[in-house]
């Protein structure tokens, strides 16, 4: 097992390029099951979770041609509908296989639960509500299985929560269902929009993309095509945090400004991060916008009206993303003032703060969902371990801002969501080494 050895306190400067959105790439790969024609995806991140999803698809019979960040898949000869249990249990994104397999082959079965970060209970009831609403039948007989008697049928379905993966499963299943499906109270994150936009390219008309209601006009079959995965706004947010708490100017090239509006309100408005966007009209469209996190930051928490302690909380898009709460918490430790962070979705997301406290952060964990941060506090390097993808990256940020040396263990968790992050950080001046 590998670790990162990080010597903090050095300025970072230069340009970084965000990878393709991890949470888009996994369902986009799963969407290859919806057609017997070739589907080519560009800007796919070269990360652990993508490797696992490709292994699952290959085991199902999907032909895969991978050339760096471009992957071509053809599901013409799929020969089974029961994903490998060991692989399925490694990533949460494996759940997005349910909708495509059920829609095209009328069957899905597995004898294990989906994996992913250990951040609390992650229910699948909304997935079942949507798929059963389209006509699937649930069976439990040694294995968990979903079956359809012929094609799924369009329906008007109100999701009981705005689940991202349940929305993705629902829209992919509805794309091959008979008739029109209306999905209400759905998630609308950029990765959900990527899935919808891909399905439109594959021949399925969808109305309401980007809103909380989708109207999906099911088709008898879908074609293949090409699609460019949008930049990972969570990695962009991670680099905003990194640039804020280390000296030097950091440039993040290839951002989508509309994805950053709430991040600007939280990092800029709440925590005092100075940043701006530059536009190059002569660059390729995917490189046209660069976010600049300025040098000489003076982080200061902005109180609410009347001097009240402000709060940062997460919620469904377009609110602040849950995956960036760990990053915001680390930035808050280096900002002058007091702030409450309220992580509403997962009861174990904030448990990593004990590592920050050992490094010198002043954090009070009120309960599994709320933490009070008082800053700024000088951080000192310590041996710590990465509990999940996002907390692991937050610890990398803390280590780069700390005095001395920090050793972060269990970094395969970070590798699941960040592509060769140690190399990327060394290129901008970080002193970070990967060791066994």
Q: Do 189 and 212 sit in the same domain of this protein?
A: yes
Q: Which domain holds residue 256?
A: 3-19+232-435
Give the number of other CB atoms < 10 A from CB of residue 412: 12
CATH assignment of the domain containing 31 = 3.65.10.10
Report which of 408, 318, 394, 293 is spatially closest to residue 7, judged by C-alpha positions.
408
Q: Do 342 and 394 sit in the same domain of this protein?
A: yes
Q: Do 288 and 221 sit in the same domain of this protein?
A: no
Q: Do 295 and 411 sit in the same domain of this protein?
A: yes
Identify the DSSP state of 406: E
Tell me the DSSP string of 98-164. Answer: HHHHHHHHSEEEESS------SS----HHHHHHHHHTT-EEEEESEEEEE-SSS-B--EEE-SS--H
Show which of 192, 208, 228 is a domain's final residue: 228
Annotated catalytic residue 117: yes
Contacts of 238 (CB under 8 A, 6+ apart): 324, 327, 393, 397, 418
**Model-wide pTM > 0.75:** yes
For every residue of 147-174, which 3-state class applies, written as one string? ECCCCCECCEEECCCCCHHHHHHHHHHH
Helices of type H across 275-348? 325-333
Show which of 211, 228, 245 is a domain's final residue: 228
Q: Do 79 and 176 sit in the same domain of this protein?
A: yes
Identify the DSSP state of 61: T
Q: Do 241 and 205 sit in the same domain of this protein?
A: no
Q: Do 13 and 46 sit in the same domain of this protein?
A: no
User: Quick check: 111 and 85 in contact, CB under 8 A?
Assistant: yes
Q: Do 261 and 273 sit in the same domain of this protein?
A: yes
Q: Do 12 and 153 sit in the same domain of this protein?
A: no
Catalytic residue among 65, 82, 117, 354: 117
Q: Do 12 and 101 sit in the same domain of this protein?
A: no
Report which of 132, 92, 129, 128 is spatially closest to residue 112, judged by C-alpha positions.
92
Q: Do 117 and 142 sit in the same domain of this protein?
A: yes
Cα 202 from Cα 196, distance rounded (Å): 10
Cα 60 from Cα 304, distance rounded (Å): 53
Cα 416 from Cα 83, distance rounded (Å): 20
Show which of 196, 228, 260 is a domain's final residue: 228
Cα 386 from Cα 178, distance rounded (Å): 45
Q: Do 70 and 216 sit in the same domain of this protein?
A: yes
User: Quick check: 349 and 372 in contact, CB under 8 A?
Assistant: no
Predicted confidence pLDDT, tens digits, the chain (436 residues): 899 999 999 999 999 999 999 999 999 999 999 999 999 999 999 999 999 999 999 999 999 999 999 999 999 999 999 999 999 989 989 999 999 999 999 999 988 766 544 434 457 899 999 999 999 999 887 778 999 988 999 999 999 999 999 999 999 999 999 999 999 999 999 999 999 999 999 999 999 999 999 999 999 999 999 999 999 999 999 999 999 999 999 999 999 999 999 999 999 999 999 999 999 999 999 999 999 999 999 999 999 999 999 999 999 999 999 999 999 999 999 999 999 999 987 777 898 999 999 999 999 999 999 999 999 999 999 999 998 899 999 999 999 999 999 999 999 999 999 999 999 999 999 999 999 8
> Which value, to the nearest 10 degrees, does the dihedral of the CA atoms of residues 20, 23, 26, 29 take?
-50
Structural domain count, the chain: 2
């Amino acid at each position: 097992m590998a670790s990162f050895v990080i010597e903090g306190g050095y300025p970072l400067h230069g340009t970084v390029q965000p990878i393709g959105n991890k949470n888009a790439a996994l369902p986009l790969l799963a969407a290859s099951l919806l057609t017997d024609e070739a589907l080519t995806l560009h800007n796919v991140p070269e990360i652990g979770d993508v490797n696992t999803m490709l292994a699952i698809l290959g085991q199902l019979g999907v032909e895969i041609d991978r050339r760096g960040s471009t992957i071509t898949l053809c599901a013409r000869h799929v020969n089974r509908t029961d994903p490998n249990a060991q692989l399925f249990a490694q990533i949460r994104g494996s759940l997005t296989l349910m909708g495509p397999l059920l829609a095209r082959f009328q069957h899905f079965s597995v004898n294990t639960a989906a994996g992913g970060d250990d951040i609390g209970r992650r229910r699948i009831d909304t997935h079942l509500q949507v798929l059963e609403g389209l006509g699937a039948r649930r069976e439990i007989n040694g294995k968990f299985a979903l079956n359809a008697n012929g094609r799924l049928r369009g329906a008007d379905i109100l999701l009981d929560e705005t689940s991202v993966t349940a929305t993705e499963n629902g829209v992919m299943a509805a794309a091959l269902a008979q008739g029109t499906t209306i999905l209400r109270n759905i998630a609308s994150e950029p990765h959900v929009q990527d899935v919808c936009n891909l399905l439109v390219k594959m021949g399925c008309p969808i109305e309401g993309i980007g809103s909380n209601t989708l109207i999906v006009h099911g088709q008898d079959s879908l074609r293949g095509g090409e699609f460019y995965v949008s930049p990972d706004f969570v990695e962009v947010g991670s680099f905003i945090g990194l640039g804020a708490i280390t000296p030097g100017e950091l440039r993040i090239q290839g951002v989508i400004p509309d994805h950053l509006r709430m991040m600007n309100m939280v990092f800029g408005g709440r925590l005092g991060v100075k940043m701006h966007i530059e536009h190059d009209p002569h660059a390729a469209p995917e490189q046209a916008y660069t976010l600049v996190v300025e040098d000489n930051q003076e982080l200061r928490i902005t109180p609410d009206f009347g001097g009240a302690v402000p709060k940062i909380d997460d919620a469904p898009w377009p609110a602040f993303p849950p995956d960036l709460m760990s990053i915001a918490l680390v930035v808050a430790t280096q900002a002058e003032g007091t702030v409450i962070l309220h992580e509403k979705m997962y009861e174990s997301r904030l448990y990593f703060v004990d590592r920050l406290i050992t490094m010198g952060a002043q954090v009070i964990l009120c309960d599994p969902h709320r933490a009070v941060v008082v800053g700024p506090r000088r951080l000192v390097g310590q041996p710590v371990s990465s509990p999940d993808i996002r907390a692991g990256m937050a610890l990398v940020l803390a280590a780069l801002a700390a005095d001395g040396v920090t050793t972060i263990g269990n970094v395969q968790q970070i590798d699941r969501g960040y592509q060769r992050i140690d190399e990327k950080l060394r290129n901008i001046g970080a002193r970070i080494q990967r060791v066994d």
